[in-house]
Each structure stands twice: as C-alpha cells, then as structure tokens.
Homo-oligomer: A and B are copies of this chain.
Amino acid sequence: GPEQAASALEAVSSSLASDFVQDLPTGITAAIVDEMRSDEQADLLSEMPQSDADAVLREMDPGEARDARELLAYGADTAGGLMRKEFLHFPTGSTVGGVIEDMRENADSYADYAIQYAYVLRDGVLVGVLRLRDLLFSSKSSPVESVMLPDPIAVPVAATIDELRDFFSANKFVGVPVTDARGALLGVVHRASIRQAQSERAEDDLLKVSGIVGGEEIRTMPLRVRARRRLSWLSTNILLNVISASVIAFYEDTLQSVIALAVFLPIISDMSGCSGNQAVTVSIRELALGVVKPNEIARVLGKEASVGVINGLVLGLVLGLAAFLWKGNMYLGVVVGGALAINTLVSVSLGGTLPLILRGLGRDPALAAAPILTTITDLLGFLLALGFATAFLPLLTG
C-alpha cells in the first residue's frame, strides 16, 4: 500500500527514493508522496526531473501539494527546505482542555507528528511553546498562555544548514521553530533532519569523488542511464589523460635512450594520484562537515605540505631504491625517486587546497577536484621524471 511504500522511501536517501519511483505511474507516485512527511516530500520531488515533479504535484492531495510546493521554493539546504509542516499549533486564548480535546479528536491525523511540543500563535505569530507533558499537570480551564514557555527561540527561514548544525550543537532541543520576518511560524526543523541532510550531502560528495555523478547509482536503474552517467565522467577523464600523457611524446628521445623509465611513468602517475586523492577526500569531508571554510587555504596548505613532505620522502625513497636495485644505476634511482617525492608534495598540497579553491569559486569541488588534480600531477610527474632524466642523460646511459 501507499503508506508502507511511503515509510520505506522515507527510510532511504532521497536520490535513491527518486530512482525507485521513476518508473511508477504518476497517480501511484502521488498517492505514495501524499503519505510522506512534508520535508521528505520536498526532498524527493526536488530529486525528480522538473516535469515529473510537476505531474506528481498536480495529482497529489491539494493541501499536501501546497505544503510541498512551499518547501520546494526554499533552498534545499536552508531552514525553509529542511523544516516540516507537520506541527501542532493553537491560537492564544485556547485552554488546556481545548488543546487536549483537539488532540483527542485529531489523534489520527497527528499520528505521524513528532508531538513533544505544540506552538501557540497570535495571528500566526509565534508567541510560545507548550510542552506536551506540561498539559498533563495543568487544570483544563487554564489558558495556554499560563502554561506555555513564552518568547521561544526560533530560526529564520533562510538559516543555512551550517547555522542549524551550530544551533543544535549548542542546544539540546529536538526541534526548532522556523519563522518569517514578521515572526509567523512556518514550520519546525528537527535535529534528526539536519544530521541526515549533512550525511546525504557528504555521501553524495564522496560518490562524486569516485566518479559516480548525477546522484546515487543503483543496479536496478536502466543500463543506458548507468552507462551514460559513468561515461560522462570517464570521457572528460580520457581527454585530460591524453593531454597529460602527451608530455611523454615530447621526450621520446630520452625514453628511447633509457627505456627503463617507461616502467616508472605509470607508477609515478598512479601514486601521485592516490596521494592527492586522499587529501581531496579529507577536504571534501571537512567542507561538508563545516570544519573548514573555503578561505582557509593557507592553513590547509601548511597542514598538507607537512604530510606531503613526509610521505613524499618515504615513497620517493622506496621507489628510488627499487629502481637502483633493478638496474644498478644510482642516478636512475635519484631521478625516479626525486620525481615521485616532489610530485607527491605538490599533489598532496594541491589535493588539499583545490576543493577549497573550487568551492570559493562557486564550483562543485566533489565533481571537479579529482580530474583537475590528476591531470596536473600526471603532467608534472612526467615532466619531472623525463626532465631530470634528460638533464642526467649521460649518467643514466653510462
């Protein structure tokens, strides 16, 4: 039934949920979405193609559709986009007995609400919070104003996810009301929604770093969608790869003289990519968590350069030693190991800072950082190894 389906879709991420409903008839999707919580409705609809979302909204219950449209109009990562429209509210002048009576009458519609608080409104403006448990201890004839906590904390509808995270870090509340400029109550953001939104954003970023773009991929999706999505990322990559490898073509003469270098070029390329990608992943994560800000490039650069020096020296020594042991030529070891050491330092420093730079420029760092990084470090790695080799050519061939 739609209710079970709604419950199942709420339990998975919204991009996954949108993949599940994409092949269902619009009427059935609308019936399922009607049963979902307003914030989950908006998440799901925002992941669907615009025309599909519009079709579903037209077939939904008008009240549900209005709430979903309102949430969709706010940015997905703002209080407006993250809030739920399911909350209890009563006008000033209500009595405790009246509130209890309303809750009894509407027990079924309120079943999905996270009822720990009810909100007291004067002409729509939030003036107090009623803790449900306080109703138990009060006389039924008391006006709600005498039981409520006055002047409740609220957040503006435009508050960002980072501001909300800071709010919930500093406060124990399970939810916070969201108000507009005149103080009217628009919805309630729950602590759990913030954590979930952050997790989904972080997971999505990590998937992009590995080349899974356009949202999560699940193997029940059609073959052409999966192949096309993956190719969109791979085809950019192959062009960038051809560009960086073309450096090798300029050094054909050196390679011809020291053919052993051909063994080490893929190693230098792969290892620099790995080292740099570790730094990219850490930065992407820290950006998603809000632990680092895009303008902290100098701090991140310092931190990463230190790691880059240590790991560059270790890896350069290992590879240089391998080259020396294989060919018995110390200079080959110096050329190969030196190129890897320097390239690791650059790769790690660049990998750490590139996501911050891209974010600062308003680009998606999760998507662009890895391809840009590997292109630059491949290019530089080949240039260093073959350039050094050209400079030391007599020693290498002697």
Contact = CB atoms under 8 A, between A and B. Distances in A.
A319 B240 CA distance: 12
Interface in A228-264: 230-231, 233-235, 237-238, 241-242, 245-246, 248-249, 252, 255-256, 259-260, 262-264
Contacts of A319: 238, 242
Interface string A252-280: 10011001101111110111011101101
Contacts of A174: 114
A169 interface: yes
Given A7-B171, A256-B256, A269 B271 contact: no
Q: Which of A170, A191, A196, A265 is the most central at the interface, judged by chain B CB atoms within 10 Å of its CB?
A: A265
A333 interface: no
B275 A230 contact: yes
A186 interface: no
B285 A378 contact: no
Contact of A289 (B12, B246, B248): B12
A292 interface: yes
B211 A274 contact: yes
Contact of A165 (B11, B135, B165, B230): B11
Interface in A155-173: 165, 168-172
Contacts of A275: 230, 234
Interface of A: 3-4, 7-8, 11-12, 16, 100, 103-104, 107, 110-112, 114-116, 132-133, 135-137, 165, 168-172, 174, 191-192, 194-196, 199-200, 202-203, 206-207, 209-212, 216-219, 223, 226-227, 230-231, 233-235, 237-238, 241-242, 245-246, 248-249, 252, 255-256, 259-260, 262-267, 269-271, 273-275, 277-278, 280-282, 285-286, 289, 291-292, 299-300, 303, 306-307, 310-311, 314-315, 318-319, 322, 326, 374, 378, 382
10 contacts: A7-B168, A202-B203, A209-B210, A218-B286, A227-B310, A230-B311, A235-B318, A242-B267, A242-B319, A255-B259
